[in-house]
Structure 1
Amino acid sequence: MEGPPDISVVVPTYNRSQSLRRCVEAILSQETPGFRAETLVVDDGSPDDTQEVLQAFRDRVRVLRQENAGPARARNAGAREARGEILLFIDDDVIAQPGLLETHLRAHRAGEGPRVLLGYTPIPRDHAATSLMRYFRRRWDSIFDGMSRCEQEGRALPYRFCCSLNLSLPRPLFLETGMFDERFTRADCEDTELGYRLTSRGVPLRFRREALAHHLFTTTLRQDCARNEKNGIQAGRLYPSFTHLKDSFRIRHATFEDRSLRTTARRLLIGARSLRVASVCIGVAGPALPPPVADYLYRLLEINYFSMGVRSILASRSA
C-alpha cells in the first residue's frame, strides 16, 4: 500500500538489547489488514549491543540514536520523526500479541473525538519466577482490574492510570499537548504527568483489554531498591514544579508547601527500623511468605527507599 503510515509505533530503548529484539520481532510480525504501519526505535545512548541488534531490522525499522537523556526525550524524538496519524508507544520489554496494532487503530477510528488508549500489558505467569516478580504481577493485575472496572462502567480512566507501556493517541494531540516533559530523565511519573495534562484538556483515557501485550519486566530486590531510591531523588528534584501531582509523585510523608524543608527531612527519616525488618523477613522467608505478607513487605521497602531518595534532596536544600 502506498502513502504515509496510519500508525507509527515508537519504541524507546536503553540497554535491553535481548528483550528489544523480541519486542521488534513481535511488532513486525503484526498483521496490518487495510492499514499501513511504521516502527521507530529510539536508542537512548545504550552502551550494550543494541545497535548491532537493530542492524538486523534496518530495512524495516527506522532507527534513531540520542545521548542518554531518558525515555521521555526518546519518545518525543520518535514522535517528531513519526509520519503516522496515530502514535503507539511500546516499551522495549513489551511483546505485542497478535492484533495489537489493529485493535489500537480501530479503537481510534471508532471513537468520537480524540482519545488516549491504554492496552492490557500483564506480566506473564511463567515470567514471574521469583517472589518479587510475583509481587509485581499481582500489583499490575490489580491496576488492570481497576482499569477494567472503569471501562465496564463506561467511565474514562483517572489520569493516574496513564502508563506508556502500551499507549496510543493521535499524533497531533500529542504534539499540541506538549509531549512528554523532558525534565523527567527517569522512567517514573513522566507518563502520569502527561495523563494529567491530557485529561485537563478533556481528553478521555480509555482501556482496551483486547490490546494485549506481555510485559517481560525483570528485576532483583537489590536493583528494585536502587531504582526506587533514584526515583525518589527525581521526585524530590521535580516536585516543587508539580505540586498538583503530590499523590502521583508518592510524596506521602511530606507536604512541601506546609512544612519547612528541614522538618520535612526529619519526618522522612521514618522507616529505618521497618526497612531492616522487611529486608530480614524477605531474605529469610522469601518464597514461603503468604502473598499478602510479601506484598506488604515489598511495598514497605519501595516506600522507604523512595523516601530515602527524596530525603537526600531535601537535606541538600536545607543545608
Structure 2
Amino acid sequence: MEKCYDASVIIPTYNRELELGLTLEALTRQRTEYTFEVLVADDGSHDHTKAVAEKYRKRLNLRYFYQEDEGYRCTAARNIGIRNARGKICIFLDCGVLLSSQGIQKHLDAHRRREGENCLVLGYTYANYPLNAEEGGQIRRLAEQLDVDTLIEKMPGIGQKDSREGMYQMYGDDLTSWPAPWAVVYGCNLSVPTEFAREIGMFDENFNSWGADDNEFGIRVFLA
C-alpha cells in the first residue's frame, strides 16, 4: 500500500545540479509537524542532476522522474509530479529556491486554515526576478556563509524583496479580493490541493518557452 503524505514538493529542473542541491539541502532542514515527499521532475538534463537527487534519497522521501530533452517542457515536468503525487497538497518550487525552515509548515498551515476550500497559496520569494552579476554574486556568497533562515533575514537589508511586494502592499494578502490575482501567480513557490490541480487539468503543456504558464494556471484556479 502506497504511503500518503500531507504534501508533495515538486521541483522541475533542467541542467541545474548545483541549484538543485541547494534546494534539496534546504528541504532536509524543514521544521514541521507535517509529512512530505519530494518529487524531482527532470526535463531532460545532461549534467549530474540525477546523481544529486539520488544523493538525497537517504535524507528525504524523494523520487526522481526523467523525461527526454525535447525542448522547454517545464509544464510537462510539473505535471509528472502532480500525476505521481502522494500528498494532499502539491507545493511547487523552482530549482534554486531555498525554502525557509518553516516553509512547508507555513504552506500547509495556510491550507489547514481554509480546510475544504480549493485555495492557492503563494510563498513570499526574495529575489524572484533577474539579477545582475553583482547582485547574484552577493547572494551566492551569503548563501555559502549562512543558513537559509539567516540569509532570508538579511535579504531586505541588501535591497532584495519579492517582486510582487508593491502589489501586496496595495491589495493585501487575500488574493480573492484582487482585480486580477492570477497576475502574481508565480510557479517558483506556490501550493494547491493535489486533487484540485488534477481536476482543473494541471499545467498547460502547450507552453514551450519560459513565462505565463503559471499565470494561465492561476486563471483556471480562480475561475474554478
Partner Cα distance (2:205, 2:100) in 1: 30
Partner Cα distance (2:220, 2:174) in 1: 23
* Cα shift readout 1:129-182 (whole Å, capped 9, x = no counterpart): 537999xx9796442231344235775441111111000000011001111000
Q: CA deviation at 1:183?
A: 0.8
Q: Which residue of 2 aligns with 1:78?
A: 81
TM-score between the two structures when normalised by the length of structure 1: 0.56
Task: Name segments (4+ residues, structure 1) moved above 6 Å.
Answer: 131-134, 137-140
SS in 2 for 1:130: helix
Q: Which residue of 2 aligns with 1:245?
A: none
* Cα shift readout 1:22-64 (whole Å, capped 9, x = no counterpart): 101111221222x211111011111111122222113331111
Partner Cα distance (2:136, 2:216) in 1: 27
Partner Cα distance (1:131, 1:139) in 2: 9
Q: Which residue of 1 aligns with 2:52?
A: 53
1:176-255 aligned within 5 A? 176-201=199-224
**Runs of 5+ unmatched residues, structure 2:** 139-157
**Relative CO higher for 1 or 2, CA cutoff 8 Å, sep ≥ 6?**
2
Cα distance, 1:156–1:20 mapped onto 2, change above 3 Å: farther
Partner Cα distance (2:30, 2:135) in 1: 33
SS in 2 for 1:120: coil
Specify the code of the residue in structure 1 equivalent to 2:18. Q
Q: Which residue of 1 aligns with 2:120?
A: 116
Specify the code of the residue in structure 2 equivalent to 1:110. R
Equivalent residue pairs, number: 195
Cα distance, 1:90–1:16 mapped onto 2, change above 3 Å: same
Q: Does 1:20 align with 2:20?
A: yes
Cα distance, 1:180–1:133 mapped onto 2, change above 3 Å: farther
Contact 2:125 2:162 survives alignment (8 Å)? no
Q: CA deviation at 1:200?
A: 1.5
SS in 1 for 2:19: helix
SS in 1 for 2:122: strand
Partner Cα distance (2:137, 2:24) in 1: 24
Q: Which residue of 2 aligns with 1:91?
A: 94
Partner Cα distance (2:15, 2:64) in 1: 15
Contact 2:7 2:35 survives alignment (8 Å)? yes
Cα distance, 1:198–1:138 mapped onto 2, change above 3 Å: farther
TM-score between the two structures when normalised by the length of structure 2: 0.78
Q: Which residue of 1 aligns with 2:166?
A: 145
* Cα shift readout 1:45-90 (whole Å, capped 9, x = no counterpart): 1111112222211333111111125210000001111100100000
Partner Cα distance (2:220, 2:170) in 1: 23
Partner Cα distance (1:183, 1:138) in 2: 36
* Cα shift readout 1:189-243 (whole Å, capped 9, x = no counterpart): 1101111111122xxxxxxxxxxxxxxxxxxxxxxxxxxxxxxxxxxxxxxxxxx
Contact 1:13 1:43 survives alignment (8 Å)? yes
What is the alpha-carbon root mean square deviation over aligned residues? 2.7
Specify the code of the residue in structure 2 equivalent to 1:86. I
SS in 1 for 2:87: coil
Q: CA deviation at 1:18?
A: 0.2
Contact 2:15 2:49 survives alignment (8 Å)? yes
Q: CA deviation at 1:186?
A: 2.2
Specify the code of the residue in structure 2 equivalent to 1:111. R
Partner Cα distance (2:160, 2:183) in 1: 15
Partner Cα distance (2:201, 2:121) in 1: 18
Structure whose CA Rg is larger: 1
